[in-house]
């Protein structure tokens, strides 16, 4: 198992009801699989997982990235500006 820390920001923090949590995931889990797990385990986050921006250890990550051991995963809503 892989023990990770999740950090939630802005509207995703509001939907999660917490600013951070820790969880154990399978060692070979990808970001896409993690988003699926979060959406299933926390229904309030399901819609957000479709457009969330994710970093692994402070670097942007894509769906196919495998979550490294003891990673810090941050989840951000999409950013828009003018």
Average pLDDT estimate for 53-75 = 98
Supply the pTM of this predicted model: 0.93
Alpha helices in the chain (DSSP H): 10-16, 31-41
* Residue ranges of domains in the chain: 27-63
Please determine, for residue 71, whether its predicted confidence score (pLDDT) is greater than 90: yes
């Amino acid at each position: 198992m892989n023990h990770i820390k999740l950090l939630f920001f802005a509207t995703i923090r509001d939907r999660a009801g917490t600013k951070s949590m820790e969880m154990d995931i399978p060692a070979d889990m990808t970001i896409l699989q993690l988003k699926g797990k979060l959406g299933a385990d926390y229904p309030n986050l399901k819609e957000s997982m479709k457009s969330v921006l994710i970093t692994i250890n402070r670097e942007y990550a894509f769906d196919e990235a495998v979550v490294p051991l003891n990673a810090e995963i941050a989840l951000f809503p999409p950013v828009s500006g003018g």
